[in-house]
A and B are shown apart, each in its own frame.
Chain A
């Protein structure tokens, strides 16, 4: 089953399934690499939204794995649970609420009577609205501390961080050289790494 289709399909079925692990197992069963995970910080609905957003931010392509392949949502969830200060946790929760609200998802626990009916296009729309913007617009959002924007930006930046520091990307996609042994100050990208960024 195509992962994207599975996510779409879940829009219809999600509301009728209560047990989170089952939902996530369904999502996760589409990818052979992604680890099954149970969110410890995010609610079921938030985890569902997070997975959809992260998958669009860093999608799997022909040449390189996507964010879901290297467990980025689990990383973000763990990081939020274990490393954020209480104050930052509250801010992040408020931000997630704002994102959910803009997506039209209630803050209530999953209710069989009210299924989530979001499509990939809906997630794409919110990302496009807030992240594919001019610098001026971005600075204006930052100045206003626009909650939805700041939260999506945070998720985007954390996704990049988690993705690039994952073992798979860090050692196989980026150029990994744990003990360089020598230093050259000024060489071409071609000579240094052949194009990609250093992992470290």
Chain B
């Protein structure tokens, strides 16, 4: 579905769709890894806070339901996880893209610097910054991890633990408590709800290799299997009280699937920096924060709601025009051994609205190797996303052109949803149990000892890469669970 899921260096981080089949009423590109560490090993590492522009988006334009929390509820937990994770980046003081607690930023290259200064002089509302990434830089100490070595081989898993992964960071920290039991190859398929006790008492597990079945009992259950499997587990958890799946009084479970739409943008050739180069292979690009629909009249669009940010970068590679014309031979060989021409490209990452009819269902007629129902996707981009893509493409080209760059080409590759690998929304948070699955503390409505804190909980998508927000929500929910647990014991 996407190149790196089958490339030799990383195919072992992705499940085989033939062994783990799913069904598509409409095409959905679902990339998964069922190993220890999961997608924390393969994520893009771009890390951006949401803001109140995002937390109030639904209530303001009427799509979806209101988030039950606001930025102030989450800000301290962003702080908390960022200190642990390590986010490198540049502070900008933008209200709609709050700064993280940053370690030193990586450096822009010469062409990116030129683009940055051109954007600043050509526009009042746009700026460019280095990507904010979960890589260690600077001189803070993180146990068992060391700074980024600029090899750009993150997709293989980092032997330095330089970018945040469960394997490098949180699992060792959990092990240090002495309270961790890690059980790989465990397929959790059901949360057991006790109709008499009116709470969940444990989970049903199948060993992926031996197919042995177990029940693990617990006072508190965190369901964090990533958006699609988490919803699937809740949907399979049927009881007298919850015949349609745990916490599904609203009928919203499995609905409102969101992703970020990408694949639209522009590229250009850049002249005048032939004597300039760079050192190190920076595992990061540049970021142009959202500048559409920021809540004021000046940025308001008639053709779409919400917004997008750009990610991209400049670099030297490929075969320059004058070299291509040499064609072959001695001079050609000499030229291709020297740095290629400079190019600069940016691609949009756009917000997707929560649509009730973008959904997943379970197919009990088509079971997998473990006898579990398979998932059927029925989701698509709609008018708002497609209108936004037009603007993404046009503005990308315009910004590159105004910067004086040459041979600008635009593209709009309409991938199916899922391609962003940012599945969200299948068990959304909300204020009203009639229209949402989780409350403001990520507890399942009506089942307070079950928390869901992965992408499933997202009430809206924002246009920012979401993992940092999942981490902050998880830390906040874990804190809440501990407080509740102590309260109940007292």
A residues bordering B, Cβ < 8 Å? 56-59, 61, 64, 66, 127-128, 131-135, 138, 156, 160, 163-164, 169, 173-174, 177-193, 195-198, 200
Contacts of A187 in B (CB 8 A): 276-279
Binds A, one of B32-40, B328-336, B424-432: B328-336
Query: Would B338 and A197 count as touching, CB distance under 8 A?
Result: yes
* Interchain residue pairs with CB less than 8 A apart (25): A56-B329, A57-B328, A61-B334, A128-B327, A132-B325, A132-B326, A132-B327, A135-B325, A163-B333, A163-B336, A179-B149, A181-B149, A181-B150, A186-B109, A187-B276, A187-B278, A188-B276, A189-B274, A192-B277, A193-B277, A193-B339, A196-B338, A197-B316, A198-B281, A200-B281
* Chain B contact residues: helix, strand, loop or mixed: loop
- Which residue of B has the minimal Cβ distance to A179? B149
Q: Could you tell me the distance between the alpha carbons of A59 and B316 in the complex, rounded to whole angstroms?
A: 24
- Which residue of B has the minimal Cβ distance to A189? B277
Which of these, B113, B325, B332, B337, contacts A64 with CB under 8 Å?
B337
Contacts of B279 in A (CB 8 A): 177, 180, 182-184, 187, 192
Q: Chain B, 112-126, contact with A by CB distance < 8 Å: what is the 0/1 string?
A: 110000000000000
Q: Could you tell me the distance between the alpha carbons of A122 and B120 in the complex, rounded to whole angstroms?
A: 55
Give the number of residue pairs across the A-B interface with Cβ within 8 Å: 123
Q: Could you tell me the distance between the alpha carbons of A192 and B107 in the complex, rounded to whole angstroms?
A: 15
Chain B 387-417 interface residues, beta-carbon cutoff 8 Å to A = none
Query: Would B324 and A138 count as touching, CB distance under 8 A?
Result: yes
- Which residue of B has the minimal Cβ distance to A54? B328
Q: Could you tell me the distance between the alpha carbons of A183 and B112 in the complex, rounded to whole angstroms?
A: 15
Give the top 8 A-B pairs by smallest Cβ distance, nearest first. Answer: A185-B107, A183-B280, A131-B327, A132-B327, A180-B280, A192-B277, A186-B110, A57-B328
A185-B108, A185-B112 as given contacts; A192 in contact with B333, CB under 8 Å: no
Which of these, A156, A169, A180, A196, contacts B281 with CB under 8 Å?
A180
Size bracket, chain B contacts: 35 or more
- Which residue of A has the minimal Cβ distance to B112? A185
Question: What's the nearest-Cβ distance from chain B to residue A9, in Å?
Answer: 22
Query: Would A180 and B324 count as touching, CB distance under 8 A?
Result: no
Question: What's the nearest-Cβ distance from chain A to residue B183, in Å?
Answer: 35
Chain B 56-111 interface residues, beta-carbon cutoff 8 Å to A = 106-110
Query: Would B278 and A185 count as touching, CB distance under 8 A?
Result: yes
Query: Would A174 and B337 count as touching, CB distance under 8 A?
Result: yes
Query: Would B325 and A134 count as touching, CB distance under 8 A?
Result: yes
- Which residue of B has the minimal Cβ distance to A183? B280
A131-B327, A185-B107 as given contacts; A192 in contact with B278, CB under 8 Å: yes
